[in-house]
Copies of this chain bind each other. A is one copy, B any other.
């Protein structure tokens, strides 16, 4: 696909800082919100006040993706969204698997805001037979068949189980998974080459308390 190769070229030549990569989803979210409220054009300074990131940081972040703006004018919101969608994976069409169809898993399957993400949940897995079958249009298989039923070329798994966590992770990695979104509250060990994104409420609250308190004492 055309965009995919363009992207690879941009990424490998310019070497985008990790910190920047982590801000891209923030920009995309904010831009979508702006668009929906009728904003068609935006300046880095304005956007800055929306996302709480310095204008110059924004401009530099954007610059890694090309000359997206126009001097004396700003950025075209639609164009930015288009670019970000491409860059952030719209055209990658990833097959994502969900491991664990309990409360959290179901919440994820039902949350139908997946229209602007990298790809879709292709299928899910669970140990519990009661949870197997088709849920919210997504087939839920027995986890023992994981190895056979992981879709061809699937790289990303969402982890929403509460038992045999490390063991399951090891199996997933053996199946070729290289990216994990982890909803678990436990520590997971991964080899080099695999990327883990933890979205743990507990850790988030801990960070929150920490930062809130530092803010209070420092300022």
Q: Taking the complex as formed, is A82 at the interface, i.e. its CB lies under 8 A from any CB of chain B? A: no
Contact status A212-B195, CB under 8 Å:
yes
Chain B residue nearest to A212 (CB atoms) is B179
Task: Provide the bound-state CA to CA distance between A50 and B190, in Å.
Answer: 9
Q: Which of B104, B119, B198, B206 contacts A107 (CB 8 A)?
A: B104
20 example contacts (A-B, Cβ-Cβ < 8 A) are as follows: A11-B217, A12-B217, A12-B218, A21-B211, A22-B207, A25-B207, A26-B187, A29-B185, A52-B190, A89-B205, A89-B209, A103-B103, A104-B111, A117-B205, A118-B206, A156-B205, A156-B212, A158-B205, A180-B208, A199-B199
* A37 CB → nearest B CB, Å: 10
**Complex: chain B residue closest to A32, CB-CB:** B187
Q: Mark A112-123, 1 if CB is under 8 A from B, else 0.
A: 011011110000
Integer count of this chain's copies in the complex: 2
Docked-complex contact B208 and A181, CB < 8 angstroms = yes
Contact A28 B104 (CB under 8 A): no
Count of interface residues, chain A, beta-carbon cutoff 8 Å: 76
Within 8 A of B (CB), among A1-36: 7-8, 11-12, 15-16, 18, 21-22, 24-26, 28-30, 32-33
Given A11-B213, A209-B118 in contact, is the A203-B29 Cβ separation under 8 Å?
A: yes
Using Cβ atoms and an 8 Å threshold, which residues of chain B touch A155? 212
* Distance between A128 CB and nearest chain B CB, rounded to angstroms: 15
A193 within 8 A of B: yes
Cα of A28 to Cα of B200 in the assembled complex, Å: 13
A145 on interface, CB distance cutoff 8 Å: no
Determine whether A56 belongs to the interface, using a CB cutoff of 8 Å to chain B: no
With a CB–CB cut-off of 8 A, which chain B residues contact A33?
186-187
Say yes or no for A62: interface residue by CB 8 A criterion. Answer: no
Selected contact of A212 from candidates B26, B178, B206, CB within 8 Å:
B178
CA distance A205 to B154 in the complex (A): 13
